[in-house]
Copies of this chain bind each other. A is one copy, B any other.
Amino acid sequence: MEEINNVEVVPCTESDYLKPFRVLYNQNGTKKSWDFMRTHDSVSVLIFNTTSHCFVLVKQFRPAVYMNEWERTKTQLPQSAETTEKSNPEASAPESQEAQSASEGESSSQWPPASAGVTYELCAGLVDKPDLSLEEIARQEVLEECGYDVPASKLKRITSYRSGVGVTGAKQTMFYAEVSDDNCVGAGGGEPREGELIEVVKVPLHEAMTFAYNERIQKTMGVIFSFIWFHNNMSPKYKISTNV
């Protein structure tokens, strides 16, 4: 699908996106501190196309997943990185040195294929527009990412939960949207201006449970959970295979 090359890891002394904060507090009389990051809450949407009896997911290259896989490859390779290690006054942290030397000293053939960073996810987006309801934000994401125009009133709230507890503490609310081919008004694919390169993919209903539990297909827990939620709650309406 994607062609990824010229990969390079550099130190990141200041990020516009990742800004750590520190909170100091007393817990039951003991002084503690915790480093966290502020981020927006989010919405995710399980989309089911009633014309084709398919779930509609988004598939994209995720640099953070790619880098995680790269680390895994490294730890499985013979430890040759030490021979390329060198002093770098700008990178004081051990991890920073390691990434730096790896990008400089290792050959590009050690980078995994692009597919290592490609994940299947629910249509989703950040709650960054204070004037809009969660349903309205979810509606916009369904339109922008997947090309279906459905009224916000037709979005069914499934539930909400903490999407991160250690670093961000953010809350995600999950919705269910039933669409038909008649609602399809565009190709989706996200906002190219925002750098989004999203592929819309369909998972047939009868393959959904096999897809959900196939660990070779990289996905979020939201995909697995929502497919099972559908199975449990919509099965009186739509038949679903349970060959798992």
Q: Bound complex: CA of A20 vs CA of B159, how far in Å? A: 31
With both chains docked as a complex, state the minimum distance between the C-beta of A92 and any C-beta of chain B, in angstroms: 9
Enumerate chain B residues within 8 angstroms of A62, measured Cβ to Cβ: 162, 165-166, 169
- Verify if A220 is at the interface (C-beta below 8 Å from B): yes
Q: Is A237 an interface residue (CB 8 A)?
A: no
Are the C-beta atoms of B130 and A75 separated by less than 8 Å? yes
- In the assembled complex, 9 residue pairs joining A and B whose CB atoms fall closer than 8 Å, in A order, are A10-B21, A11-B21, A12-B21, A20-B20, A64-B166, A159-B224, A161-B219, A163-B221, A221-B225
Residue A213 is within 8 A (CB to CB) of chain B in the complex: yes
In terms of DSSP, what is the predominant structure of the interface of chain A? mixed
Copies in the complex: 2
Additional pairs, 11, CB under 8 Å, beyond known A2-B27, A167-B167, A221-B225:
A3-B27, A3-B29, A10-B22, A11-B21, A28-B197, A37-B64, A64-B167, A119-B165, A165-B220, A221-B221, A225-B228
- The docked-state distance in angstroms from the alpha carbon of A157 to that of B26 is 38
Q: A19-B93, A23-B63, A159-B215 are in contact. Are A169 and B220 (CB under 8 A)?
A: no
B-contact 0/1 string along A162-176, CB 8 Å cutoff = 111111111110000
Q: Is A109 part of the binding interface, using a Cβ–Cβ cutoff of 8 Å?
A: no
Whose C-beta in chain B lies nearest to the C-beta of A99? B21
Residues B36 and A23 in contact, CB atoms below 8 Å apart: no
Q: Which positions in A face B, CB cutoff 8 Å? A: 2-12, 15-29, 31-32, 34-38, 41, 61-69, 71, 75, 93, 95-96, 99, 117, 119, 121, 130, 159-172, 195, 197, 212-213, 215, 218-225, 228-229, 231-232
Q: Which of B37, B63, B168 contacts A36 (CB 8 A)?
A: B63
Q: Which of A8, A29, A65 has the most CB of B within 10 A?
A: A65
A161 touches B220 (CB 8 A): yes
A23 vs chain B, min Cβ distance (A) = 5
Taking a contact as CB atoms closer than 8 A, the residue among B6, B15, B32, B167 that contacts A25 in the complex is B6
